[in-house]
Amino acid sequence: MQSESRINMIPQQLPAYQQQAEEVLAAFGSQLEVGLTTEEAQARLAQYGPNELQAEQPVPAWRKFLAQFQDVLVILLLIATAVSVGLWFYERDSALPYEGIVIFTIVVLNAFLGYFQEARAERAVAALRAMSATTAHVVRDGKRQEIPVALVVPGDIIVVEAGDTIPADARLLQVVALRTAEATLTGESQPTAKYIAPLQGEAGVADRRNMLFSGTAVTYGRGRAVVIATNMQTEIGKIAGLLQRTLSEETPLQLQLARTGKLLGIMVLVIVAIVVATILLVERVTEFHAIIDVLILGVALAVAAVPEGLPAIITAVLAIGVQRMAQRNAIVRKLPAVETLGSATVIASDKTGTLTKNEMTVRSIITASGRVDISGSGYALDGVLHQNNRPIASAPLQAEVTRTLRAAALANDATLQEQAGNSTIAGDPTEGALIVAARKAGLIESVLNERVVRIGELPFSPERKRMSVVVSDAVRMDRLLVCIKGAPDVLILRCSHELVGETVFPLTDERVAEIRASTEQLTGEALRTLGVAYRSLAPEAHEAGIEPDDAIEQDLVFLGLVGMIDPPRIEVQQAIQRARSAGIRTIMITGDHPKTASAIAVELGIQQQQRAISGTELEAMDNHQLNEVVRTSAVYARVNPEQKLRIVQALQRNGEIVAMTGDGVNDAPALKTADIGIAMGISGTDVSKEAADMVLTDDNFASIVAAVEQGRAIYANIQKFLRFLLSSNIGEVLTMFFGVVLADVIGLRAMGSDSTAVVLPLLAAQILWINLVTDGPPALALGLDPADTDVMVRPPRDQRLGVITNQMWAGIVLVAVNMAIGTLAVLDASLPGGLIASDNGSLPYARTMAFTTLIFFQLFNVFNARSDTYSAFEGLFQNRWLWAALILSLVLQLLVIYVPFLQVAFATVPLTMSDWLVVVGVSSSVLWLRELSKVLVRSINRMPPILRQIVE
């Protein structure tokens, strides 16, 4: 029967919510008490696939590797090298085509480096899916089992209860006071009551009360249901499918680097073309083999000069940033988002769970004899009851508070769980707060449950705004109580008496007015209020059996008011202040009450006065009015997802870079629209996570600010290696260009007078080696530099400025010219003739000296590149990876100079100690010159603004 059920589908013209529960169960070949067999579940898993949202298809490793050779310059270099090797096969003018072999080897090594950097980034991003793995309870083979959500299949019987996340779309079969929170899917803020009866006619998702939906949560009660849809066939899966087809805009960094890369590429190619043309004209090259050598040199110079490795290095640096951020409770799904967050000017945050703990806490209780406050925060039990910061001295007040908390704990479905000294709540946060308050008052939950037996209940609903339970006393069997909690304005109308001490008195109009005034007082303190009452039933009611109905919620005895709040996170106030110091404005966007939202905002320092813009006010504004409002307003309350999207768009129209938090499906458009969307890892849905750029594993605002700091540090590190790469690469180009132009002056042309070969300052293989040794490990190590101490006191950078500023360009040009002059001077001094007289010297020796000097110039330049302002000696030893990279580069260069077969490959000769003194002395000049320029920059920065503008 079950094998056939895999092809039985509910007719499209009659959806599951319109059919009887038994009919749906039969259509899927399942049974309520037995569920599917293990074999049938495995067969359906093979048919329908895992119960998870589809991810992008992975790219095969071989395609990733071949993608490293897609650069046009690399292709040209390989073609030219192949032609050179082909000529060697034809002419056989040397033992081996060493230069061609070396060039090919270096290109392949670069490809492997890029491949492994990208693979590392992908592994960091994969942490998101591992984080979101969950389990589900199903009935299989007649037994209740816990299985991974991915293994749930159509036809499974799922068992859900308060606190569970629903794993798939399902048709309800059994319910016991079941309510689910479906705001993540429908936008409905209040929990939805569920029942079994079929619906008549078409109904929207929000109205399908006999259905459960994947990604929503059970807030109350329990039930069983048969799964009718999994993975992308669920309602959330359909929305996720739409989002996957939505194209995301490129980040500011991507756009800036694209423009910068294109500009630099054009400049370098023009210069390289001039160098090649100059060589061909000055050297009067006519032989085909020589022409090929010159072309190889030109392409090699272009490959070395154009920072084609920049995307790979940026990817690696961002991936490292991802790992650092994961350690600070933030997982990044899209690597460029790290930088974007660092440029944010506004953080638009939700309140519940992000700025607050999402742990309701009872702060105050008001009864007939006065007010009692309760210390402590969240679900921790370390709090006490006090009156005006003193122990409760009034016996009547003590009795009233105890009775109030006892009734609230009985009219309650939450449970307190303690493990390793930590307390957590299973169930509704509001009910959990009442349990914790009762424990602080000395009322033990287990003792209460042993003393009373629940024999009936009337569940809470948005329409009723109250919950009642009927309990019998296990000690006094003749005692039957109704305990009720609910909205004070609703409850007070059903009360006829009030408890004063241990005595019940009639409830007068004056006391009703006072209770209402107390409610307003608590509300004004941003506390959510609940009323608590009870009623005794006649003993015969227990004997006859109780069927709870609305009639038992009359003639109640009012016990007291409970004021509670979701307390702010302790660390958030400091985080908001840090964000403000960094020039970032924090705004709160919440669906909560305006008074509560504004009070929390004042307590956290988001604003000075209690003022909130409501969703109703937003609805009445046009875009122009909203543009003006978002410039100054910091709190938005009772806001729906559409209004949240409008707020984000208005901020962006004002030129803000917006980071926005969200957790629901309906938040997905705003998360997608924001410059960086931040989803909640604990309370967020899969769809919100898919739409977001970053996921907070702890749902904590402080983690956002920590991520901002990391983002700024990463952007600064990107500027560091841009400063290093460009100054070094331009230095190479200038060295080659002026080495050819000034060949007569420096005595280089005389070395080729007896040969038909082209005489050049450096060989193509040497240039590519410099590119591999210095542009690789040291540049990557710069990306690991620790954050500057002042990174969170700088204002957000101006988005109109490029990633390379005018000040950076000045330093880059200064260093490049210094490199070219120093390298050519060493080349000249190593040759007979030229400006610097030398008695002896050979071309291989001179090239080795120039080759090594240029590498050492770039190694010293690493320290310069760490800042345009601060001295290279500040925090000199903070980055151990930088020193490791420099040592690696130095060792590799020593191997090229002293290992015989590498000497042949790179045309080098051994250097003496005096040679090394010359190399180090000349190349270190780039460090001392840059230190002098930084002293000048710091002096200018300390000038008054008017004088600074004149100087600049």
Catalytic residue numbers read 350
Strand 169-181 to strand 211-212: parallel, antiparallel, or no bridges (unpaired)? antiparallel
Query: CA angle at residue 321 from 316 to 322, to 5 degrees?
Result: 95
In order of 1, 148, 387, 419, the CA distances from 213 in angstroms are 27, 17, 46, 31
CA 183 to chain CA centroid, Å, is: 22
| The 3-state secondary structure of 635-650, one letter per residue | EEECCCHHHHHHHHHH
Element (H, E) at 917: helix 913-923
What residues contact 700, with CB distance under 8 A and at least 6 apart?
329, 354, 569, 571, 572
Alpha carbons 374 and 361: distance in angstroms, whole number: 9
In order of 73, 103, 297, the CA distances from 84 in angstroms are 16, 11, 11
Neighbours of 504 (CB within 10 A): 15
Q: Which residue has the tokens 């991936």?
A: 319
CB 319 within 8 A of CB 120: yes
CA 849 to chain CA centroid, Å, is: 49
CB 190 within 8 A of CB 179: no
Alpha carbons 333 and 321: distance in angstroms, whole number: 12
CB 601 within 8 A of CB 635: yes
- Residue 32, helix vs strand vs coil: coil
Alpha carbons 453 and 470: distance in angstroms, whole number: 8
What residues contact 469, with CB distance under 8 A and at least 6 apart?
410, 411, 454, 456, 457, 458, 482, 483, 484
Neighbours of 941 (CB within 10 A): 10
Angle between helix 764-775 and helix 880-898 axes, rounded to 10 deg: 160
Strand 635-637 to strand 658-662: parallel, antiparallel, or no bridges (unpaired)? unpaired
DSSP state for residue 387 in the 8-state scheme: B
Would you put residue 260 in left (φ > 0), alpha (ψ -120 to 50) or beta?
alpha
Backbone angles phi, psi at 384, to 5 degrees: -135, 160
Backbone angles phi, psi at 828, to 5 degrees: -65, -45
Alpha carbons 472 and 478: distance in angstroms, whole number: 8
Token reading at 935: 């002293």
What residues contact 228, with CB distance under 8 A and at least 6 apart?
10, 16, 24, 28, 154, 168, 169, 170, 171
Alpha carbons 952 and 944: distance in angstroms, whole number: 12
Question: Could you tell me where the beta strands, DSSP code E, fall in 474-527?
Answer: 480-486, 495-500, 503-506
Token reading at 898: 């002293």
CB 902 within 8 A of CB 842: no
Q: Residue 275: which of 729, 732, 730, 737 has the closest Cα?
A: 737
Amino acid at position 368, single letter: A
Element (H, E) at 420: none
Angle between helix 806-829 and helix 913-923 axes, rounded to 10 deg: 150
